[in-house]
Structure 1
Amino acid sequence: MAKKPPLDELLYTDELKKYHQNWGRKGDKALIAVDNAGTPVGAVWYRLFRREERGYGYVNDDTPELGIAIKKEVRGKGLGTKLMHSIIGEARSNSFKALSLSVDGNNTNTIELYRTLGFEEVGREGTSITMLLKITR
C-alpha cells in the first residue's frame, strides 16, 4: 500500500484542491468551531460544483457538496452533530433544497449520524457512498 503524502501536499492534489481553491465564490459557506482558548477544533462547509469539476459527493449543479472535519480529541462529544445542524440551517436560509456528501462505506458511525440527520444513500462508487439530504422549509 502506498504511503499517504503529507497533508500540505495532499491538499494540493488535483482531487482535493477543488475543495478550497478560490474559496468565497457564490455557494461557498463554512463554519468553524473553536474551543475556549480560540483554537479551531472542527469545521463544516459546503460548496457548489459543476458537473465538469464535480467532487466526490456530487449530485447535481444545484446541490452543494458538504464536508466536515473534527479533531480526534473532541470527537464523540456532539460537536459534529451541532456543526451539521448549523450548516443545514445555513443551507436552508440560503434557499438550497438539498445537501450532498460522500462518506467511506466503512465509516459506520458517521454514516449512522448522517442517517439520523436525514441523509439517504443515493449512490456508490468503490467504497464511497454518496448521500443526500432533502431540505424542507
Structure 2
Amino acid sequence: MNDYQIRLGVKEDEEFLWEMLYQAIFIPEGEPRPSRDILKEPHIAQSMEGWGREGDIALIAMDADQTLIGAVWVRLFDDTNKTYGYVDEKTPLLGMALLPEYRGKGLGKALLGKMLKIAKQSGYEAVSLSVDPNNPALHLYHKFGFKQIGVDGTSWDMVVKF
C-alpha cells in the first residue's frame, strides 16, 4: 500500500484515537465485536482519557483522500493510573490500530517503525505494549524486537528496549 501519508497527531485527533482504541481490541475471527460501551471500562478508558497530556504522541495514517485509516500512539502512565502493558512511569505504553480493510498491507509496519524512532529520539529507553497472543500483530511486534515480559489476563505484556 503506497498511497498513504503519516502525520503527527494533534489534539483534534482524539475522537479518531478513541475509534482506534476500539479497533485495537482483539476479537478472534468469527466472534462478534463488543459494544462500544467497552471503551467506558476504566482499564480501557484510561488508555485514552485526557488525550493531549505531556508525553502523549500519536501518528495518524491517512489514505490518498485524506481519510483517517490508522494510528499508533504512546503515552506515559504511573502506579496510580497503570493499565494493560504498564511497566513503569518512564516507559511509554504503545497502542496501535488500523481500520480492518487496511490491515495486512504494510501500513502497521510503517506506523510502528516511525513511532519507535520517535520514542527513541524522545529519550525513552523502552516502549511497552499489551497484546493477545492470538493477534496477528504479534508477528509484527516480534519483528521489531518486542519480548514478552509477563501475562495480564489473556494478554501478553511486551517490551522493546533501545
Name the TM-score, length of structure 2 as normaliser. 0.76
What are the Cα deviations for residues 19-51 of structure 1, in whole angstroms up to 9, with x where unaligned? 111111111100110001111110000110001
Task: State the identity %.
Answer: 43
User: After the TM superposition, which residues 74-93 of structure 1 pair with which residues of structure 2 at under 5 Å, given as runs?
Assistant: 74-93=102-121
> RMSD of the alignment, in Å?
1.4
Contact 1:122 1:132 in 2 (8 A): yes
What are the Cα deviations for residues 47-98 of structure 1, in whole angstroms up to 9, with x where unaligned? 1000121110001110000000111101110000000001001101110110
* Counterpart check, 1:115 vs 2:131: no
Whole-angstrom distance in 2 between the partners of 1:44 and 1:114: 13
What's the offset of the Cα at 1:105? Answer: 1.6
What's the offset of the Cα at 1:5? Answer: 4.9
Contact 2:84 2:152 in 1 (8 A): no
| SS of equivalent to 2:80 | helix
State the number of aligned residues: 131
* Counterpart check, 1:100 vs 2:128: yes
Aligned to 2:157: 130
1:64 to 87, 92, 98: 92
* Counterpart check, 1:6 vs 2:65: no
Change (3 A) 1:75 1:5: closer
Which stretches in structure 1 are left out of the alignment for 5+ residues? Answer: none
* Counterpart check, 1:26 vs 2:54: yes
Name the TM-score, length of structure 1 as normaliser. 0.90
Where relative contact order (Cα < 8 A, 6+ residues apart) is larger, the structure is: 2
Whole-angstrom distance in 1 between the partners of 2:33 and 2:94: 23
Which stretches in structure 2 are left out of the alignment for 5+ residues? Answer: 1-31
Contact 1:106 1:127 in 2 (8 A): no
